[in-house]
Structures are given as C-alpha cells and as structure tokens.
C-alpha cells in the first residue's frame, strides 16, 4: 500500500455558483487495500477547529499531520494506519469548519490523485449552507461516526447548528438504505461537567433549534468528556464505530470497500445534480446492470403458461421470486434488505400485471380471482424467504428446486434461467436459454476460453452437448449483407470465394463474419453457408443445382391466345414457377429443422437474419437464428424507431422452420406465391422493401451491441449493376397488362430505386457518417460495398443459364480487385483484439494511468488455422502499431504465445485519462495498416465492457467451477524464447 501526503478529498469553492472539487483520495485508498472486497471500512467524520482548546489532534494519533495542517481546506480523508490491514479499516474525514468563511483559492490537483470539478446544479444560499449540505446529503449515508469538537462553552451553540443537518433527515425523506450515523460530541478539554449533564444540555438546545417537533430518538447521540471518562478518545470513537457497524449489519447496509467506493462516486453525481431527492443506494447499486425493462412481458409469459391457482401458488410465484433473488444478489450488488430491494426493483412490475382469473386446480373447478395485491404480497414473501437461502451457486439450486415444473415448459419469449432476457440458444431437449445464462452454466477449456459447452439441460437434466462460441467482451462485430437478385446471387458467392482465397487461411469465409443478413437468393446463400456449414465453393454448386430445379417453369399444352391467357392467369394466381419445386428442394436440404436448430451458427458465434414482408400488412419482418433481438436492457428507444418487426416463436410448437423462412424470403411476386409460416402469417420476398438488407443489419447491430459505435467492418455485396443503368426485363406479362401507362412507369421507378443496392448502401453511409466523428472519410475505412459492373442489361432473375458466365466474370473481377485484397488484410487484423488485464484496474500515479493488457487472437491456438495465420503474418513481417508507435518490430509475431498455446502479446502503456482512445493496428509489409477489432476504443469503454471495477468482487464470489473455466490471472504470455508455435521456423 503506497502512502501519500495529499489528503484533500472534497471541497467547495465559488461565490454565487459553487463548484465541487472531488479528488480520487477515497478510490486510491480503497485500491491500495489488500483484497478490498473482503474489507468493510468505517468512515469517521471529524468536524471542528484545530484551534487551541480542542481535542481534535488527540482523536487518532496517526492523523495529527492531516488535522494540524494549516494548508488543509475542505474535507480531507486518510486511512487510519492502525487499522489499515484489518478487516475493518477506519477512514478518517476531517474538516476545519473555521476555514469555511475564508476566501480560499481553488486547490491544484495533486499528482498522486485525480480531481474532478463540477458545478452544483442547485442553489445554495452560502458556502456554509453548501458545506452543511455536503455533509448531510453526500457524506452522511456512508458515515458511521461523526465527531463534533467543541472549543468551549461559547462554542456549544455553534456545534448544535452543525449537528442539526445530520439529525434532520427523517425516515420518510431519506433513503431506506441510509443508516443513522452515531453523533459524538467531544467537549473541550476544560469541560468539568459529567457526560450526562452535557448531553442533557445538548438535547435541550437541539429540541429548541430543530425545525421538527421532535426527533425520533437521541439514542445515536453521545458525549465524551475527557475529564470524567475512563477511555481515551480514540478508544471511545472505536467503540462508537463498533456500535454503528453492528447497526449496519442488522439493517443490512454494511458495504465492503469496493461497493463503498463505487456507490460514493455515484452519490457525488447525485449530489451535484439534485438537492431534494435523497440518494438511494439500492437503486444506485443496479445502475450498471438495471433490471430488464421487459420484465413485465416476461412475467406475463410465465404467468400465462399456467391457468390454475395451484400452479400459480406452488410454481409461478415462488419461481419468479427466486429468479429475482438470483438476478439481484449477484457478486456485483451489495446484500441490502430483501424487502427494500423487492420494493425498489421488482414490486412495480408485479403490480402492473394486474388481477388474474384462474381455475382452483389443474383438474378444473369454479374460477377464482387472484387479486393484484395478493400477487404482490405472495411474491414479496417468497423473495424474502429465498434471500435467506443464498448459496455459492443459487441459480443451479433454484432450477433444481423447480425442475418438475420447468421440465415441461419450453417458453421461447423468456429465458427461464434468469427471467431477465430473451432466450437465444436452443438445447437438444427443446429448452432455450439466453447467452449469459449459457455462459454461467456452461464450461470452456483454457485452450479455447470463449467456446462454451453445456453438457446437460438445467431444466430437465437431459444430455445436451450444445456448443456456443461467444464474442470476447472487448472485440467488435463483423457484418455481412447480401442483396437479393435471383440467379445473380452467383456474384456474391464468387466475391466471398475471392475473399477467402485472399485471406489464405483454412477457415470458412463465414467464420470471418459475426452477423450475416441476406434477402431472397442472398438469404439462401446465407443459409447455405451458415445453416448447412458449407464452404463457399460448395454453396455455388448447390446454388446452381437449386436454380436449375426451381426455375424450370410450368408446362402448358395447346397453342394460341387461349394458352397464353391461361399462362397469364396461372402466373398471376400461382406464380410463374411451381411452388412445389422450391419447396421440395428446401425440404430436402433442411428437413424439419428450425431456425434455432442452426448448431453450426452457434458453434462459430454467428447470427443470421432473413428479411420477409407480411403479405397482409406489408410490414417488413425479420426472421433470425437468435430468436430476435438480443438487447439486454432498455432497447425501447430502438423499438420506437425500428423499421421492421421481429418474427419469434411463442414456444416449441410454433418454431419457425428453416425451409419456411427460406421459402418466404425468396417468394418474389410474379415468380412464386407467398408462403405461410404456421402461427405467424403469410409472407413474401423481403426484397419488396429491403433488397439490400444493410439498413436492417445496422439496426440489429445496435440492438445486439449498443456499446459499440460501429462494426469492425461492414461488407455489403450486390448482385450486379448495369453500366448502362438498365435493369432486367420484367417479362412479357406485366407489359401486356400495363402497356406504357403511368402505372408501368411507377412500377419501373420502384423497381429501379428499391432494387438499386448501391443507392441504398450510399444512403446508409450518409446516415452513419452523420452520426460518427470523421464524417464520410472515417466510414470508408470500415464500410465496404462490392458489386459486379455488367455491360448492357443484367440477366433475368430466373435465367439460370447465365449463372456460369456471371460466376466467371465475377471471379475474374473480384480476384483482380485490390479492394478485396485490402479487405483480406483487414480481416487478418480483425482476428486480434485487446483486453485489459483481468481483475486489475489501471493504476493512477504521477498524473497518468498505467494500463496493463494483452493483445489476443479470436482463433484459438489449437486450430490448424492458427499456425497458418502465424506463418502468414511472419512472412508479411507483421508488427503491431500501438498509439501510432511500432512495438517489437524485430520480434516475430508468432513467438507471443501464452502457456495454453493461445496468442497473447503483453502491452503496458500510460495514458492521462480514461477518455483517451486506445489505437492498435496491424502493420503488414510496413505499408498495409489496419485496426484490430474494436479499435480505436476509449479506456473507459474497455473498463466497462470487462467490468473491471467489479472484478475484485467476482474473484471473492467465484466458485471453483467458475474459476476453472475462466482465464486465470497468471495467464500471461511467456517470453518469446520460451514458446514457439508448432510448425514455426
């Protein structure tokens, strides 16, 4: 623990408008403690003058330097060195109140502490009133003992004025988590009366001066008179501290050091912005992880799954209450009073559910009414009872207790493992869970720490070998968008083939993209790559065979106008091509598998989406492999401006089959009839509204990862564009119907505008440029549009005979395109990401932060592609450029391996502020430079994504199972000379 002579902590300055100066003294003290999560500090506030006649300098012998310092102003803070290594360290805050009226210059920031300055957003009558409010509203909730030091008989009334703000915080105004600090009046050294007499005099003065008729109790007020006491002042203060600590234990307001520090910083924000509303610790404790705003929906899904009073009482209510307990009392939240926690976080959601009519039992009978008040009372009761049953793994115990009920319930609109998120991953038995719960209950090997396996279902205990790869917390997302275009989808296939060859790794090209969206035939390409797990060249052969099969056309008999008329009517009513052809092909490929059965997608950590159009409402809809939006918290702002709605299943009986989704997204009007998805409606080709699905992909990106400003790279691939600006023929029948009328011109305009993917992409680029710093120039680095220019007219959407020529032209064009090679270099760079050292916050010293971290690779060391990547980078003389400086230029990149064989290059750097951006790039041949994943990113964002402020708490609460599956703190890379990648020269 490093010592520091700068104890300045809080001070107020100004005349009409006051500024709060807050130094990082508290945070630095807490950080310096050994295992702060296991410590429970006590705060002692000493108010008085260091003038002659007070006992202020006798309170804590080790604090004399701070107290007697003439340079001190405002509130100072220091750690009592006698208790520094105990489980209950004492923090000593002191203010010399005699200096409040002095015009003091604003303090200069000490090099060993950070300092923030904020103006009070409320009116304070004077500096004295502002300081009184600082103590009573900001410091008071964290204080165990406050000492008032008197200089003599004449000073008693002044001390009473100082006490009033500490006492006049009634129970109905202040937060329920605020414990009453103990007030200790320290009489002057010349006082001869007994402590009882002095207290009686104080109480009389307090009753006279109080604005209230009476106080609840003066039991928290005591007096120390040195002349009559048998204890030293230090021992007396410690006795008061012990009493206050016991009271906090009984009221469940005792905080460990980490929570103490975090909540105090939040209290500072609250103090600056609000004068009237008391600081609520319970609400603030969940500010970083708020209760889901969709909880009322999840409760409705749960309660609607039962229809009788028996199951509501025995299952739904106690299970919901148990989920609330697991959700709230995680490692990162203090154990506050359960009754108050329920009232603050959950009661309003239960109350909003309303009354419910039920059968008395599962066997029927007369209907009964469960009143809203009964529902709230029962849930509250079970919440309090379940809070007493907390164990090292409360979720596992909760699911085991309710397994008989959970085993038969397969709800797809709520994760039954937490009741806080939409489920995303389907297990073999049919149950579904959200990604966070999958991670918490799954296991991952040290050799591949982001590949999780769940061996058995937590709801029914059936064997369920399901594997899910998750994105590292500090990595970004790579997005692929493919236009629709019938047989012209051969063009994006050839683009992907050229890109895979340019990257040069034995990894399917789809594994270089985390999100993939495709419309119409583009959607079929996405399903071939992600749904069937095909390599890109295999998908081309499949696509060619599929096109020849589904675009065969109908057989008509006879000659003349009647045959043509019959063909026209048949095409108008049933499509130009028989639905049976495409439906039969899709059934052979996908069978009865559903969109949540795409195990390959989960195993590579990807998500796919297919746009469709509701045939009845003409709304744009999205079918996904992840059961809709994965936004964890408040995404109402996205819902209000969303241009589409998500199609989701209610339960296992209404899952969306892959063949239905593929059939709908390719049901182009005139070519195929709309298709019905059971339970959801009838849908058509998504190209009617979003032939280029890039705008849908952007919206989903922000829902999935709202913390990311943009994608790592966003690749949009078109299906050809005519250099003469002509579109494909729409066929004989529309011309016969419309002729050269304005209706035909309107149809042609719609066709040219809606199906011009380049124009849609340009619009998206303009929107993104307006919302990001750097404008259009910055978007060119990560927004990419690829398309094949074709001379003359593009082939018809159903002209499968043109697939070969289109593919040949596209292959030649993209293979020679330097932009494809540049994108391949970027893809190599994006396999790397940076993370700060787990469990270690950056250290502030001498005016800047020292940050330790590691550059890691998405590709695990056990993958054959990893050695290929290392060899390729060594041949390209790859180096990392950190903050515009090249590091270890002479070292081969393949030599940085950790003890598990994974890539790990240690990085240490100093930055003046967490708001600074970390900029890391990969240099190839010294002139081809690309950012690694999620770079640039501010250090504050990195800290938030890794939840480093709570990491000490997580280490304290980690079970052996959890510890074994996480990367240990000593997983630092070995020295270059100690380890080599197998196969390296």
Q: What is the pLDDT of residues 116-144, one digit of tens each?
A: 899 999 888 888 888 888 998 899 999 99
Give the per-residue pLDDT at 959.
Answer: 47
Q: Does the pLDDT value for residue 562 go beyond 60?
A: no
Helices (H), 393-516: 394-401, 403-406, 435-441, 490-503
Which fold, 478-827? Cytosolic phospholipase A2 catalytic domain (3.40.1090)
Averaged pLDDT, 600-612: 97
Element (H, E) at 312: none
How confident is the model over 198-212, as pLDDT tens digits?
Answer: 899 888 888 887 765
Give the least confident one: 481-485, 685-689, 780-784, 843-847: 843-847
CA 397-403-407 angle, 5° bins: 145
Q: Point out the catalytic residue in the list 96, 155, 685, 898.
A: 685
Rounded to two decimals, what is the model's pTM? Answer: 0.88
Q: Which residues pair with 879 in a beta bridge?
A: 923
- Percent of the chain past pLDDT 70, that is, above it, reads 83
Q: What is the mean pLDDT of residues 245-268?
A: 94
730 pLDDT higher than 50: no
Give the pLDDT of residue 967.
Answer: 42
Angular region, 137: left φ>0, alpha ψ -120 to 50, beta rest: alpha
Mean pLDDT in residue range 506-526: 97
Q: Which residue's entry shows tokens 């970083």?
A: 288
What is the mean pLDDT of the segment spanning 203-225?
75
Asked if the domains 8-281 and 831-965 are classified in one and the same CATH topology, the answer is no
b/e burial code for range 405-416 (CB count within 10 A of at least 16 → b)? bbeebbbbbbbb
The lowest-confidence range among 1-5, 768-772, 793-797 is: 1-5
Q: What is the pLDDT of residue 464?
A: 85
The answer to whether 777 and 766 have CB atoms below 8 angstroms apart is no
pLDDT at 365 (0 to 100): 63
**Rounded percentage of the chain residues whose pLDDT exceeds 90:** 59
Average pLDDT over residues 570-591: 80
Q: What local confidence, expressed as pLDDT, does residue 978 receive?
A: 40
pLDDT of residue 728: 47
Of residues 351 and 499, more confidently modeled: 499
Residue 985 has pLDDT above 60, yes or no: no
Mean pLDDT of the chain: 85
The answer to whether the Cα torsion of 218, 219, 221, 227 is positive or negative is positive
| Per-residue model confidence (pLDDT) at position 970 | 44
Please check the confidence at residue 100 and state whether its pLDDT lies above 90: no
**What confidence category does residue 696 fall into, taking pLDDT thresholds of 50, 70 and 90?**
very high
Question: Coil, strand or helix: which one is 822?
Answer: helix
* Residue 103: predicted pLDDT: 54
3-state SS of 874-902?
HHCCCEEEECCEEECCCCCHHHCECCCCC
Burial class, 121, CB count within 10 angstroms (exposed 0-12 / middle 13-18 / buried 19+): exposed
Cα→Cα distances 262→24, 237, 282, 713, Å: 12, 26, 13, 35
Tell me the torsion sign for CA atoms 747, 749, 753, 756.
Answer: positive
pLDDT tens readout for residues 921-935: 999 987 899 999 999
Alpha carbon distance, N-terminus to C-terminus of the chain: 45
Cα–Cα distance, 600 to 603 (Å, whole number): 5
Per-residue pLDDT band for 366 (boundaries 50, 70, 90) equals low
pLDDT tens by residue, 405-430: 999 999 999 999 999 999 999 999 99
Q: What is the pLDDT of residue 751?
A: 65
List the alpha helices (DSSP H) in 625-706: 636-641, 658-665, 687-690, 694-704
- Tell me the average pLDDT across 902-917: 94
| 520 belongs to the catalytic site | yes
Give the pLDDT confidence of 869-879 residue by residue, as tens digits: 999 999 999 99
Strand partners, 784: 715
Give the range among 36-40, 106-110, 870-874 with minimum mean pLDDT.
Answer: 106-110
pLDDT at 48 over 50: yes
The most confident of the ranges 12-21, 175-184, 550-559 is 12-21
Given a cut of 70, is residue 72 above it in pLDDT? no
Mean pLDDT of 593-604: 95
Q: Over the stretch 800-827, which tens digit does the pLDDT of each residue have? A: 899 999 999 999 999 999 999 999 999 9
pLDDT, residue 223, reads 93
Decide if 528 contacts 542 (C-beta within 8 A): yes
The correct CATH number of 831-965 out of 2.40.160, 2.60.40, 2.40.170, 2.120.10 is 2.60.40
**Confidence (pLDDT) at 157:** 84
pLDDT value at residue 579:
87
Q: Which of 70-79, 221-230, 500-509, 629-638 has the lowest mean pLDDT?
A: 629-638
648: pLDDT strictly greater than 50: yes
Catalytic site residue from 520, 521, 666, 716: 520
Higher pLDDT, 155 or 720: 720
CATH superfamily placement of domain 8-281: P-loop containing nucleotide triphosphate hydrolases (3.40.50.300)
| Domain boundaries, given as residue ranges, for the chain | 8-281, 295-469, 478-827, 831-965
Q: Does position 60 have pLDDT exceeding 90, yes or no?
A: no
**What is the rounded distance in angstroms from the CA atom of residue 150 to the CA atom of residue 158?**
9
**Which pairs from 191-198 meet CB under 8 Å and 24+ separation?**
191/150, 191/225, 191/226, 191/227, 192/227, 193/225, 194/225, 194/228, 195/222, 195/223, 195/224, 195/225, 195/228, 195/229, 196/223, 198/223, 198/225
User: Residue 108 — very low, low, confident or very high, per pLDDT cuts 50/70/90?
Assistant: low
Residue 363: the pLDDT is: 56
């Amino acid at each position: 623990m490093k010592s520091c002579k700068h104890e300045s902590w809080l001070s107020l300055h100004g005349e009409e408008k006051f500024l709060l100066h807050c130094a990082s003294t508290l945070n630095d003290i807490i950080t310096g403690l050994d295992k702060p999560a296991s410590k429970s500090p006590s705060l002692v506030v000493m108010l008085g003058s260091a003038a002659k006649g007070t006992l202020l300098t006798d309170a804590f012998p080790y604090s004399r330097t701070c107290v007697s310092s003439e340079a001190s102003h405002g509130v100072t803070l220091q750690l009592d060195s006698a208790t520094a290594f105990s489980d209950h360290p004492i923090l000593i805050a002191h203010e010399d109140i005699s200096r409040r009226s002095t015009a003091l210059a604003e303090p200069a920031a000490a090099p060993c502490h950070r300092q923030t300055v904020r103006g009070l957003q409320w009116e304070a009558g004077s500096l004295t009133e502002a300081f009184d409010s600082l103590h009573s509203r900001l410091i008071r909730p964290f204080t165990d003992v406050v000492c008032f030091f008197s200089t003599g008989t004449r000073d008693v009334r002044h001390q009473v004025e100082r006490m009033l703000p500490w006492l006049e915080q009634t129970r109905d105004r202040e937060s329920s988590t605020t414990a009453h600090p103990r007030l200790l009046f320290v009489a002057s050294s010349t006082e001869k009366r007994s402590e009882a007499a002095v207290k009686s005099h104080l109480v009389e003065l307090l009753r006279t001066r109080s604005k209230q008729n009476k106080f609840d109790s003066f039991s928290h007020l005591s007096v120390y008179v040195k002349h009559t006491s048998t204890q030293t002042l230090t021992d007396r203060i410690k006795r008061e501290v012990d009493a206050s600590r016991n009271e906090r234990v009984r009221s469940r307001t005792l905080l460990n050091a980490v929570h103490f520090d975090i909540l105090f910083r939040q209290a500072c924000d609250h103090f600056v912005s609000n004068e009237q509303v008391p600081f609520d610790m319970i609400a603030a404790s969940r500010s970083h992880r708020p209760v889901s705003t969709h909880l009322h929906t999840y409760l409705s899904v749960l309660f609607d799954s039962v229809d009788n009073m028996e199951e509501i009482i025995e299952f739904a209510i106690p299970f919901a209450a148990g989920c609330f307990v697991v959700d709230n009392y995680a490692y990162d939240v203090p154990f506050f009073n359960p009754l108050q926690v329920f009232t603050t976080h959950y009661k309003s959601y239960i109350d909003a559910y309303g009354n419910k009519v039920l059968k008395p039992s599962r066997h029927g009978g007369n209907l009964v009414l469960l009143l809203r008040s009964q529902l709230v009372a029962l849930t509250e009761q079970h919440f309090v009872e379940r809070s007493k049953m907390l164990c090292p793994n409360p979720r596992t115990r909760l699911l085991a207790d309710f397994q008989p009920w959970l085993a038969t319930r397969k709800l797809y609109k709520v994760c039954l493992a937490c009741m806080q998120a939409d489920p995303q991953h389907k297990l073999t038995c049919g149950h579904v869970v959200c990604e966070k719960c999958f991670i918490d209950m799954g296991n991952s090997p040290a050799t591949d720490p982001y590949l999780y396996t769940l061996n058995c279902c937590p709801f029914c205990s059936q064997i369920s070998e399901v594997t899910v790869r998750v994105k590292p917390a500090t990595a970004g997302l790579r997005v692929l968008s493919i236009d629709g275009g019938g047989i012209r989808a051969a063009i994006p296939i050839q683009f992907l083939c050229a890109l895979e060859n340019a990257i040069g790794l034995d990894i399917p090209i789809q594994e270089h993209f985390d999100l993939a969206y495709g419309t119409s035939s583009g959607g079929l390409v996405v399903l071939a790559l992600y749904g069937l797990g095909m390599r890109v060249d295999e998908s081309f052969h499949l696509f060619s065979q599929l096109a020849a099969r589904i675009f065969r056309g109908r057989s008509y008999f006879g000659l003349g106008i009647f045959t043509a008329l019959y063909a026209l009517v048949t095409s108008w009513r049933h499509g130009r091509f028989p639905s049976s052809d495409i439906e039969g092909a899709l059934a052979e490929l996908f069978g009865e598998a559903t969109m949540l059965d795409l195990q390959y997608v989960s195993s590579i950590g990807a998500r796919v989406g297919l746009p469709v159009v509701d045939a009845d409402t003409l709304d744009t809809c999205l079918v996904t492999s992840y059961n809709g939006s994965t936004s964890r918290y408040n995404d109402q702002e996205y819902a209000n401006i969303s241009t589409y709605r998500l199609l989701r299943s209610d339960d296992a009986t209404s899952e969306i089959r892959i063949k239905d989704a593929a059939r709908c997204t390719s049901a182009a009007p005139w070519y195929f009839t709309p298709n019905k998805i059971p339970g959801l409606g009838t849908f058509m080709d998504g190209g009617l509204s979003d032939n280029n699905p890039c705008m849908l992909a952007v919206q989903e990106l922000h829902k999935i990862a709202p913390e990311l400003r943009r994608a790592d790279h966003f690749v949009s691939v078109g299906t050809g564009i005519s250099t003469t600006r002509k579109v494909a023929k729409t066929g004989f029948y529309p011309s016969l119907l419309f002729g050269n009328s304005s209706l035909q011109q309107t149809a042609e305009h719609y066709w040219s505008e809606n199906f011009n993917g380049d124009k849609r992409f340009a619009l998206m680029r303009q929107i993104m440029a307006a919302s990001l710093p750097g404008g259009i120039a910055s978007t060119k680095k990560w927004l990419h549009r690829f398309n094949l220019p074709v001379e003359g007219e593009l082939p018809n959407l159903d002209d499968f005979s043109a697939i070969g020529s289109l593919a040949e032209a596209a292959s030649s064009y993209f293979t020679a395109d330097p932009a494809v090679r540049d994108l391949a270099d970027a893809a190599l760079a994006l396999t790397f990401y940076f993370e700060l050292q787990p469990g270690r916050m950056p250290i502030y010293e001498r005016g800047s932060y020292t940050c330790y971290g590691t550059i890691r690779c998405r590709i695990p060391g056990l993958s054959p592609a990893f050695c290929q990547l290392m060899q390729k980078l060594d041949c390209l003389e790859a180096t990392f450029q950190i903050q515009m400086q090249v590091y270890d230029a002479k070292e081969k990149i393949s030599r940085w391996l950790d003890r598990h064989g994974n890539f790990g290059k240690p990085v240490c750097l100093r930055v003046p502020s967490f708001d600074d951006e970390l900029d890391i790039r990969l240099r190839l041949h010294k002139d081809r430079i690309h950012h690694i994943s999620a770079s640039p990113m501010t250090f504050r964002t990195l800290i938030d994504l890794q939840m480093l402020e709570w990491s000490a708490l997580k280490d304290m609460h980690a079970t052996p199972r959890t510890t074994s599956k996480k990367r240990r703190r000593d997983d630092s890379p070995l020295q270059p000379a100690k380890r080599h990648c197998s196969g390296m020269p």
